[in-house]
Structure 1
Amino acid sequence: LLVPKQIVKSANQVGAVTVAIAQSPVEYTGRLGKLLLVGIGPGNLEQITPAAKTAISSADAVIGYSLYINLIATLRRPGQIIEALPITQETQRAKRAIELAEWGLTVAVVSSGDCGIYGMAGLVLEELRSRGWDGKTPEVQVFPGITALQAAASRVGAPLMHDFCAISLSDLLTPWPVIEKRLEASAAADFVTALYNPRSRNRTEQIAIAQRIFLKHRKPDTPVAIVVSAYREDEKITLTTLDKMLEIPIDMLTMVLIGNQSTDVHQDWMITPRGYRLEG
């Protein structure tokens, strides 16, 4: 409080005016904030939707994992607030974005792939819910992106033409017994399966367990695509089989696509038939 409350009266007029002056810890903007939850696709600027590009360029602030912030460097403009946080600080990113939006800024929160698939959209909405958000202020818009499994699939052909599912092998947020149960169900049901986060520096056994589970239900020569950094400069694509997949280097930037019993490879193109009858 800079000036305590004072009551001022005029001798010539009826009534009075009460005045007090205080300094807010946060500058008043007079604006309603927005949260733009943006999926930037696999990382190549050509794969980002026009709407997502506009959202990033128009935002007052851009928040994301440092690698993703670097990938969209050419979309940023002078004067924007840029905050890049490490990969393990997703909760901090969500809270900081909401804080800036409540201040009245338009904030773009970027995720690779689609922000609503293993991305930041869910976390931001969960944090807003925990704060009693009314669903309106700050305003939220979600901008979808090309997912990692879509990007990987497009590089090897048409492996997702029939029923498929995605499973993350990371047990940081999901107990491993739950993940293992999902692997068993997917393998037994003959889903084409995309494995996210298949192996990290400290987590090496899960991909081997996944292979053993699928070998119980599928032939050893079932086609498998291993795609690293799809559409980026260091992209690597390998077509192999279920029994030999562990011979290929796999890390956190790898997408593993396991075919179903009908999936085949023709001239280095991976194809899962949809079931149409072909004439001739």
Structure 2
Amino acid sequence: MHALLFAFLLGFLKRADASSAERSDHAWGYDGANGPDSWPAICHTGRRQSPIDINPARVAVVNLPQLNFINYDRMGNILLTNNGHTVTTTGYDRWPNPPYIFGGGLDGKYNLVGLHFHWGDYDYQGSEHTFDSLHYPLEAHFVHQKDGLNANQSLLVSNGMAVVSIFFKMGGDGNALRQFEEAFRSSDPYESALNVSNILLTEILPANTLSFYRYDGSLTTPGCNEAVVWTILAEPMSVSEQQLNELREHFSSSERLLHNTRPTQPLNERRVLFRPSMI
């Protein structure tokens, strides 16, 4: 979890190194010679890589506490950037009341440091995680960093990051992403950066945040650090065809960014947990 996650998190607390981190970040991509098959090191040798397929017949139902979203109901300003791999948003640390999560079986408080999106060429693909081998057309990742850790430290421990994933299905009025539409339209060129005011994160969250899937995984981009506790909310939101097409109009350093998904990875010996709404 975008610059995509690796360079983005390094740049979060090390602004002075941002330009060099971004240059190295663009050595990888999603197609051809620099696609996922060419990604280095632990991306291929790790045992808890992400994303995964969620098989509903094989999840373990557990009695986890409720996951709490704090200050997600407060408005704030963000920077929305097309970094060549995704549309990513930052600046939450500068809000008067910065958003964070706790509970839900997490080990402490995790501060929101970014939100980004994954999409595909067509409506039947786009999400990185799959559910019973099927894709949703869009997936959003709320990236959180464990309180008390800096950007480097959070990548080096098994629970240094907590990412909340939300699936988007086709249809509806697209209200969940309405506040981003103008920025989506204006950020097509590579390295575009726009200030967006009065973002309300609860607009993106489903009404039911009590029900979710949980597993231990990794970043879905190089360096694929196995440092992420994943929470995948069970209730999807809605995205319009127009909003998806706006995302597909974005450009990487050399071509249109029609898709930005890593293939699902082996589960190995990991367990996928499920917290139902009523426990």
TM-score (norm 1): 0.22
Q: Between Structure 1 and Structure 2, which shows a larger proportion of helix residues?
A: 1
Point out which structure has higher relative CO (alpha carbons under 8 A, 6+ apart): 2
Greater gyration radius? 1
- TM-score, normalised by the number of residues in structure 2: 0.22
